[in-house]
Amino acid sequence: MLALRTGLICVVLLVTGCGQAPEDRAVFRYALQGAPGSLDPVQADNAYAASLVNNLYDTLYRYRYLARPHELVPSLALTMPQLSEDGLELTIPIRPGVHFIDDPAFPDGRGREVLASDVVYSLARHFDTASRSRGAWLWRDRIVGLDSASVVDGALPDGAGLEAVDDYTVRVRLRQPFPQFAHTLATALSAIVPREAVDHYGPGFGIHPVGSGPYRLRQFDANRAVLERNAGFDRGPFDLAAEGFRIEGQAGLGLEQLEGRAYPFMDRLEIEFINEPMARWNSLRSSRGVDAAIIRPDLASVVPEAAGSTVLPPSLAPTFRAWASLESGFAYYGFNMSNPALGDHPDPLREEANRALRCALRDAFDWDARNAAFYRGAGQAFPGVIPPVLDAWDPALSSASIEYAPDRARQRLREAGWTAENLPALTIGIEAGVEQRQMFEQLRAWWVEIGYPADRLQARVLPSFGEYLRAIADGELDVFLLSWTLAYPDAQYALQLFYGPNAAPGANSFNYRNEDYDRWFEQAARLHAGPERTALYRAMNEQVIDDCVFIGSMSRIRLQLWRRDLVMLPDEGPALGLSWRFIDRSSDAP
């Protein structure tokens, strides 16, 4: 089905050459590090899907393009939410006159106006089991009357706290205060879809998006996506000041030429899915390759610092600009706690032995060697899952959980009664590709060094990121490597990785459950920023470290290179794909 659809689209694009790089100045080509399995917003829980969904659909809110730290602003919404005195009711007015793209899903083929009822429907879909949502955990038990299976065929239960007051007003009633609620409405998971398209395309909706964003989809397959400008998209002229422009650090990028012009500026986006670092680098260096990409620093002979603009070597400086930043997220290895061989177990003695096993595997992980081998020393390892970019980060937290301590690992195994004969066989998931295979072999060598039999540490190679996520959700992997990008700048977004009700297929891929942790999480969710909430965040962080649920973490410095004739500031943090609508060719370029 997908192959047939791609073929038809190639006929439509014949005038520009399907699969070729046209000589059009209004085309932006980007190398994305992986391929999304679906473009349905309810499945957009990963950075690859979110980057595309955020350009194909509208969300009520977004982040200012240039503001650092990130600040929320209305997008489809007219204003920030109007909050009741008790913090339990939010009223959100939306823009009139916004239309979905023209599509056969509509009776006359013409996109109709986006209404408040579409916002209600889009959020409610997450609570309909037929949608197979991967994002319900964001709102589960937050909105009155909505839980994991309370919506049937789009119909909300009586008394649900999600309603369209009129065509242009949405009202939300919360079970308890949730200060981060507006941030959830800036995520790709909250993107607004029309019911007509979901019904019309059925299971095919994930490859046939119908939205009201700045772009519309023209091609999508396992290798690339092609997006074309939505001529009906109108958010007024670009305003440098409103987007948070600051002269210090941003003055040399040519952004001033965007002032007062209607966006998006590019007519077409060609997004190539290239997960191998060397392949991305080769494409960027090719005259017919991509215009921008995240590049492994050693390939470009660059030693980046997390301080914005980066000095390039003379061989690259005439062609490229560079930007380095500490990612708003982290990479980690997770353990499947639902597997009694190394996770939760009904026998208290085996439970403690399993914890000792996980802690030993963590002790035998060498973050310095991983950093040197794959990130040229440009990563920053830290204990826990509250990264250094967040206010709740605790610089005084012990670093023992990220120390390479093979002797301590052997001692843990010995004291817990583990031997080469009784250590369990472990399936370690990797996505197909040279780099991930290299990471696996490095990991296995460390664990063999502490006495783990090599034949009991087997790689399970998954052909795509989508299949990798499915295998994790289905409990097929005992150990898995993932990275987590903060969709909003608060430690809660990282800590919900371990919240019990978020178990797979939700964000809690570990299937971790701890009553104290869940209680603290629920208490913190009601609080505004302050010492009490920070104390709870830090207690949760220390709990998952003590339980040895994961190996981590590392925030990597992202080195982004782009051709000098482009005017842009690369995406950082939660604003996935946001920059694409604001990218332009320099007016000074030949």
What are the backbone dihedrals phi and psi of residue 32, each rounded to the nearest 5 degrees, phi first? -90, 145
Q: What is the CATH number of the domain that holds 426?
A: 3.10.105.10
pLDDT given for residue 13 in this prediction: 36
Euclidean distance between the first and the last CA atom of the chain, given in angstroms as a whole number:
42
* Within a domain: 571: no
* Within a domain: 278: no
> Would you say 552 and 371 are in contact if contact means Cβ atoms under 8 Å apart?
no
pLDDT mean over 163-168: 97
Half-sphere exposure of 522 (CA within 13 A, CB side): 14
Q: Give the H or E element holding residue 350.
A: helix 348-363
Distance (Å, whole) CA 442 – CA 335:
18
Q: Could you tell me which of 446, 247, 304, 250 has the C-alpha nearest to residue 361?
A: 446
2 pLDDT band, cuts 50/70/90, is very low
Distance (Å, whole) CA 314 – CA 436:
31
What Rg do the C-alpha atoms of the chain give, in angstroms?
A: 24
Distance (Å, whole) CA 7 – CA 1:
10
Q: Which residue has the tokens 């595997």?
A: 361
* Within a domain: 220: no
Pick from 452-456, 522-526, 549-553: least confident? 522-526
Q: Could you tell me which of 451, 429, 452, 448 has the C-alpha nearest to residue 439?
A: 429
pLDDT mean over 69-74: 92
DSSP 557: E
At 100, list the tokens.
Answer: 């979905």
* Within a domain: 370: yes
* Within a domain: 410: yes
Sheet strand arrangement including 169-173? 82-83, 89-93, 169-173, 162-166
Comparing 234 with 19, the larger pLDDT belongs to 234
pLDDT given for residue 12 in this prediction: 35
* Within a domain: 165: no
Domains identified in the chain, total number: 1
Any idea what the Cα angle at residue 227 is, between residues 226 and 232, rounded to 5°?
A: 160
What are the backbone dihedrals phi and psi of residue 67, each rounded to the nearest 5 degrees, phi first? -75, 130
How does DSSP assign 75-91, residue by residue?
SSBSSS-EE-TTS-EEE
pLDDT given for residue 444 in this prediction: 98
Q: Could you tell me which of 556, 557, 551 has the C-alpha nearest to residue 404?
A: 551
18 pLDDT band, cuts 50/70/90, is very low
Half-sphere exposure of 77 (CA within 13 A, CB side): 25
* Within a domain: 273: no
CA 96 to chain centre: 30
Distance (Å, whole) CA 533 – CA 474:
33
pLDDT mean over 346-365: 98
CA 543 to chain centre: 24
Q: What is the pLDDT of residues 264-301, one digit of tens each?
A: 999 999 999 999 999 999 999 998 999 999 998 888 88
Q: At what angle do helices 434-449 and 367-375 cross, to 10 degrees?
A: 160
Strand partners, 31: 272, 293
- What residues have CB less than 8 Å from 286, skipping those under 6 apart? none
Mean pLDDT in the chain? Answer: 91
Q: For residue 570, is pLDDT > 70?
A: yes
Q: For residue 219, is pLDDT > 90?
A: yes
Helix/strand/coil (H, E, C) string of 124-155? HHHHCHHHCCCCHHHCCCCECCCCCCCCECCE
Distance (Å, whole) CA 34 – CA 46:
10
Dihedral of the alpha carbons of 317, 318, 321, 326, in degrees to the nearest 10: -10
Domain that holds residue 542: 329-556
Comparing 466 with 381, the larger pLDDT belongs to 381
Q: What is the pLDDT of residues 406-452, one digit of tens each?
A: 999 999 999 999 999 999 999 999 999 899 999 999 999 999 999 99
Whole-number Cα distances in Å, 56 to 27, 79, 135, 225:
16, 22, 18, 11
pLDDT mean over 50-79: 96
Strand partners, 92: 170
pLDDT given for residue 21 in this prediction: 42
Comparing 474 with 378, the larger pLDDT belongs to 474
Share of the chain above pLDDT 90, in %: 75
> Would you say 434 and 276 are in contact if contact means Cβ atoms under 8 Å apart?
yes
19 pLDDT band, cuts 50/70/90, is very low
Q: For residue 4, is pLDDT > 70?
A: no
Q: For residue 22, is pLDDT > 70?
A: no
Range 102-111 burial, b when 16+ CB lie within 10 A, else e: bbebbeeeeb
Task: State which amino acid sits at residue 136.
Answer: A
How does DSSP assign 434-479, residue by residue?
HHHHHHHHHHHHHHHHTT--GGGEEEEEESSHHHHHHHHHTT--SE
Classify the C-alpha dihedral 200-204-206-211 as positive or negative. Answer: negative
Distance (Å, whole) CA 436 – CA 456:
19
Pick from 144-158, 447-461, 507-521: least confident? 144-158
pLDDT given for residue 532 in this prediction: 96
Distance (Å, whole) CA 137 – CA 431:
25
* Within a domain: 201: no
Distance (Å, whole) CA 379 – CA 362:
18
